């Protein structure tokens, strides 16, 4: 008897009404207890192990990814119910384009289906007021997938209580490169000066305009003539004459464009150009499948207070009972951190 068959039997038993009621009650009680302590505001998940799960259970790779999406739905409800405000998931790496074409094509087809499901059955996101944001290199998203991405963002843009960041397609190096380019542009672009009625550009523009309207007109006499019309800017009346006794016009002082000082560039400036600039700092990073590396995900966001957890379970297996021990350990570490800071004071 295969593991997958046993898994189906277990799921059938757990979905029976009595078992479902008991599990729901226990889950609500447990989450309510956890909410009494500190809750991370921003949690990132590196959803690893879908292909290995499919191989272990002798099913198609795409089916493993489908089960991974179901695990994501469970995790989102757990996080939002606990009080997490931002969930960031690594859905597709730029490096994944190097996988076999049939697998990439299948993943893109699945992305369209799952994004459409989020739109059509968005009760979970609407219940917790979660809006979808897709982070990554938009130019690399296939043309046939883009409408589904835009629709998912548009349909949840009214939700402001929580955020679901879907990194697709994404790598941290690409994000940091984009942030640095934006910072360089900000500090090397001169501020645009406003045009005044007597600025050099306005005068030159007016002269060229008058010449184009009257190409055959003779040169103007240098002596003043009462019948001649003044070549004053359109912003002033052409029939207005200056009083001889009036004081001379004061020319507008030339403003020299000043570039920002590059010495003022800080980590905060670069952070303001990252994909997660509007999100709270990353509190918790979780990766499944037993792999102990970040794999080019959230490298910039992982700071000294980010708690990183590597789990041996595969992503389709991840549920509340895997998340609870992690959250308890995070709360314990937060308590120790607060005690350490209080002793310093």
pTM comes to 0.76
- Give 248's pLDDT tier (boundaries 50, 70, 90): low
Contacts of 292 (CB under 8 A, 6+ apart): 310
pLDDT score recorded for residue 21: 73
* Cβ neighbours of 304 (radius 10 Å): 4
Q: Give the residue among 201, 219, 221 at the shortest CA–CA distance from 211.
A: 219
* Cβ neighbours of 104 (radius 10 Å): 15
pLDDT digits (tens, 9 = 90+) for 162-173: 999 999 999 999
pLDDT score recorded for residue 295: 94
pLDDT digits (tens, 9 = 90+) for 78-101: 999 999 999 999 999 999 999 999
Contacts of 16 (CB under 8 A, 6+ apart): none
- Give the span between the Cα atoms of 159 and 153, in whole angstroms: 10
pLDDT digits (tens, 9 = 90+) for 290-343: 999 999 999 999 988 899 999 999 999 999 989 999 999 999 999 998 888 888
- Give the span between the Cα atoms of 214 and 326, in whole angstroms: 80
């Amino acid at each position: 008897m295969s593991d997958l068959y046993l898994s189906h039997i277990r799921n059938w038993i757990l979905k029976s009404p009595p078992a479902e009621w008991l599990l729901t009650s226990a889950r609500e009680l447990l989450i309510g207890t956890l909410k009494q302590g500190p809750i991370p505001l921003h949690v990132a998940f590196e959803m690893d192990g879908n292909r290995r799960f499919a191989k272990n259970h002798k099913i198609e790779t795409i089916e493993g990814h489908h089960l991974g999406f179901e695990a994501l739905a469970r995790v989102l409800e757990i996080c939002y119910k606990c009080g997490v405000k931002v969930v960031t998931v690594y859905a597709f790496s730029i490096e994944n384009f190097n996988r076999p074409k049939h697998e990439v094509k299948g993943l893109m087809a699945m992305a369209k289906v799952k994004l459409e499901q989020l739109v059509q059955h968005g009760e979970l996101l609407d219940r917790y007021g979660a809006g979808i944001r897709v982070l990554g290199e938009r130019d690399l998203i296939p043309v046939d997938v883009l409408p589904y991405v835009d629709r998912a963002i548009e349909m949840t843009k009214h939700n402001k209580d929580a955020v679901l960041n879907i990194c697709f397609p994404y790598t941290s190096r690409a994000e940091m490169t984009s942030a640095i380019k934006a910072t360089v542009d900000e500090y090397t672009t001169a501020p645009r000066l406003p045009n005044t009625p007597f600025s050099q550009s306005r005068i030159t523009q007016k002269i060229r305009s008058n010449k184009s309207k009257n190409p055959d007109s003779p040169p103007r006499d240098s002596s003043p003539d009462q019948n001649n019309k003044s070549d004053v800017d359109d912003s002033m009346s052409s029939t207005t004459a200056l009083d001889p006794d009036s004081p001379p016009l004061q020319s507008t002082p030339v403003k020299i464009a000043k570039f920002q000082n590059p010495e003022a560039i800080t980590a905060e400036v670069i952070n303001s150009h990252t994909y997660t600039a509007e999100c709270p700092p990353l509190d918790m990073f979780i990766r499944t499948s037993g792999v102990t590396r970040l794999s080019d995900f959230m490298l910039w966001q992982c700071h000294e207070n980010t708690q990183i957890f590597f789990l041996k379970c595969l992503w389709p297996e991840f549920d509340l009972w895997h998340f609870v021990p992690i959250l308890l350990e995070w709360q314990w570490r937060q308590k120790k951190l607060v005690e350490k800071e209080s002793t310093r004071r």
